[in-house]
Amino acid sequence: MTTTYSLRKNTPSAKTSVELCNFIFLDIETTGLRPDRGAKITEVAILNRNSNLLQWKSDAELSPEIFQIELPKILNHLQHGVVVGHNLRFDLWFISYEAERVGLEGPDIRFIDTLSLSRKVLSKNTGYRLGTLLKHFEIHVAGKLHTAITDAEATRALFWKLVEAGDISTVGDAGIKQLKWTNS
């Protein structure tokens, strides 16, 4: 019998080294700014440190019910590490709204927002939009910004640049927070 051990932790404490943590990089694209006013998720990208875990993009001809099939997969991926995204509260708001709408309960999620982290690490006169931060760190992306896969890849690169620039050694230093999921 073979036992597999993972060096990296899915549910780290604040004192856990960033090197010993599983990170899940998330980005979504939407039709608007408020799910409670009819805006819908149109794209989702979830990456780990090295590869794509899940990419979902709606097609104009697909019904919104297709997303209901993908949503459990998305929620499953989010529990396998610390979720990292730029302005992540927006993304998690949409995902939790959709989950509640279809009666799914999501996992408790540990997360780090690169928007908050950039405000902590960089000077006040730096812009904090993703595109501005990419220019600041001279990060070049292959695709077009404002697509989920490109933004998730850009956020992954940005996170590691912020860790380096801020001399961040633990997930606590990076601003880890926990979202307690409730459907009540």
Residue 69's Cβ-count burial label (10 Å; 0-12, 13-18, 19+) is exposed
Query: For the chain, give me the number of helices (H) and strands (E)?
Result: 5, 6
* C-beta separation of 107 from 79 below 8 A: yes
70: number of CA atoms within 13 Å, CB side? 20
Instruction: Report in angstroms the alpha-carbon separations of 91 from 25, 133, 143, 151, 164.
Output: 11, 19, 20, 12, 25
* pLDDT band of 2, cuts 50, 70, 90: very low
How many Å apart are CA 130 and CA 136, to the nearest integer? 10
CA dist 46 and 133 (Å) reads 20
Distance CA 33, CA 144 (A): 20
Treating both helix axes as pointing N-terminal to C-terminal, what angle do 65-78 and 88-101 enclose, rounded to 10 degrees?
A: 120
Q: Taking a C-beta distance cutoff of 8 angstroms, is the pair 22, 10 a contact?
A: yes
CATH assignment, 23-179: 3.30.420.10
Confidence category of residue 61, pLDDT binned at 50, 70, 90: low
Backbone angles phi, psi at 120, to 5 degrees: -75, -40
The tokens describing 169, both together, are: 């050694």
pLDDT tens for each residue of 68-127: 788 898 999 998 899 999 999 999 999 988 888 888 887 789 999 999 999 999 977 778
Q: Do residues 174 and 117 touch, judged by C-beta distance below 8 A?
A: yes
Residue-range domain boundaries for the chain: 23-179
Rounded to two decimals, the pTM is: 0.90
Is 134 a residue whose pLDDT tops 90?
Answer: yes
